[in-house]
Structure 1
């Protein structure tokens, strides 16, 4: 029994299962966490950008048909955000605006003034692709040329602040992504190299009895591929459990993550686990096969 156990430990292609899978799973889990952070930040930024609005104030005494015509013109513009094919436009009449003001302040200025000085306003949500300062300025001028439009306003400082912060966040996330990917690859590579260190003399023995390079590599590469995939599935499972835990603590957090993005992230984790495990094992085996006996010691 003891001899059989000893033989199993020295079987070609075998190396510590638990430590390798644990290390690779941990590295992939950290990579997945950062991937979730990137997706959440990107989607949250997009959500903020999609709520950037322009207020289009209309001339007084326009007919219903004229207002509908202006609304149709704006709906056809590329710079207006579309959701499910519907332009994100809202028409607020001066009567509705007055009621909202009275409800909010408790003061009926219409009775006091004897007239409603407010104007009908059409609120449009600007597509994020058109939110550069130069684009917004051109859009403002274009809308003001539409017959029946009195004035166009938007919070310029807010838009500039959003654009500046988006650029900063993008650069930071890209930088961290590159660094983290390099760290994950190095960690997995070193883990496999250390695991294969105990097999170096067995590899040399197989070479001495005439085993071909492909015959020696095959069991190591097969096991590395299995370990990489298993670690990937474990990392994805941990991320799934973490997401459901966070969802119970922070309601609506899952709304910031799209199913297709989660599938891409899961696929990327599995692919990194498989490829890095395979390539690191291939490189390590090649290295040990080329070493002299003195170098192996």
Structure 2
């Protein structure tokens, strides 16, 4: 007579492959959104770093006055820094004329008889001083300096940048909240279905006097490990996708911040473990409270 053997169930075991795969897909989508947020933030920062203000000097300004203007500007907190270097540069009227002639192919000095351009400083503004109100104060302060003729910046561009950055920020935060809610619900339902096969084993443990903590522990440990594993796999998938994108899209690597990518990977790992733990905790509590009739 042929004997049939039934595989013995172990407390805390369940079809984990489907759970890990489900959590991996969810975390991968979150990771993609995280990458979009990081690259958007980096691109926004680069745009802000290049907001320039032109400071045109009087035509009769002396060399000593010009040097004094530069020293005064260098001491101001609204001057941007890049690699610990002040973002301030000087362009003489001769250099400006040469550049204009090279760009247009026309020598205006032939019919004007003189160079109408002015010596000028170009400064980049620190992000903390890029609001419309603060830029207006910066302009007013610089124009009050002796030897300064005019301060010019593209006000419409500054206004447009700040409006668009604010809108993009709200949109990204909204999508992030919605996405996180969907992911938590999806993972929660997946784990609940996976633990469905363990409901009678849980009841058997209750009947022999096992305490809730003893029953929960193996499930919670395994689900945390599986969530962390899904986070690692999702991070690896994002890394491969980034390498492929960098090989296909020119200059995309220049927007890459390795430190922030590491933080994103660590976040996915922790998020996977936390969501796995939380979803399992809720599901186990539910099965512990069900009556025998409800289990069927």
TM-score band w.r.t. shorter chain: over 0.9
Residue 76 of structure 1 and its aligned partner are, at CA, apart by: 1.7
1:119 aligns with 2:118: yes
Measured against aligned partners, the alpha-carbon deviations of 1:195-218 in whole angstroms (never above 9, x if no partner) come to 001110111011112222222112
* 1:175 corresponding residue in structure 2: 174
155 and 261 in structure 1: CA distance in 2 versus 1, 3 angstrom threshold: same
* TM-score, structure 2 as length reference: 0.96
Per the TM alignment, residue 3 of structure 1 is displaced from its structure 2 partner at its CA by 5.9
Q: How large is the Cα RMSD of the aligned pairs?
A: 1.4
- Give me the whole-angstrom Cα distance separating, in 2, the residues matched to 1:45 and 1:189: 36
State the 1:86 CA deviation: 1.2
Choose 139-148 or 79-88, whichever is displaced more. 79-88
Q: Distance in 1 between matches of 2:11 and 2:132?
A: 64
CA–CA distance in structure 1, aligned partners of residues 182 and 193 of structure 2: 16
Ranges in structure 1 where 5+ consecutive residues have no aligned partner? none
How far did residue 255 of structure 1 move?
Answer: 1.9
- Please state how far the C-alpha of 1:48 moved relative to its aligned partner: 0.8
1:260, 1:161 → 2: CA distance? 30
1:227 aligns with 2:226: yes
- Superposition map of 1:132-171 within 5 A: 132-171=131-170
Mapped to 1, the partners of 2:235 and 2:99 lie a distance apart of 49
Distance in 2 (alpha carbons) for counterparts of 1:91 and 1:188:
58
Instruction: Name the structure 2 match of 1:74.
Output: 73
- Distance in 2, matches of 1:56 and 1:245, equals 44
Q: Distance in 1 between matches of 2:248 and 2:67?
A: 45
2:61 counterpart SS class? coil
Q: Cα offset for 1:51?
A: 0.8
Structure 1 stretches of 4+ moved >6 Å:
none
CA distance in 1, matches of 2:281, 2:36: 32
TM-score in terms of structure 1 length: 0.95
Match of 1:51 in 2: 50
SS in 2 for 1:150: strand
Secondary structure in 2 matching 1:7: coil
Output aligned runs, 1:1-297, within 5 Å: 6-8=6-8, 10-297=9-296
Q: Deviations over 1:173-221 (max 9, x none)?
A: 1111111111111111111111001110111011112222222112111
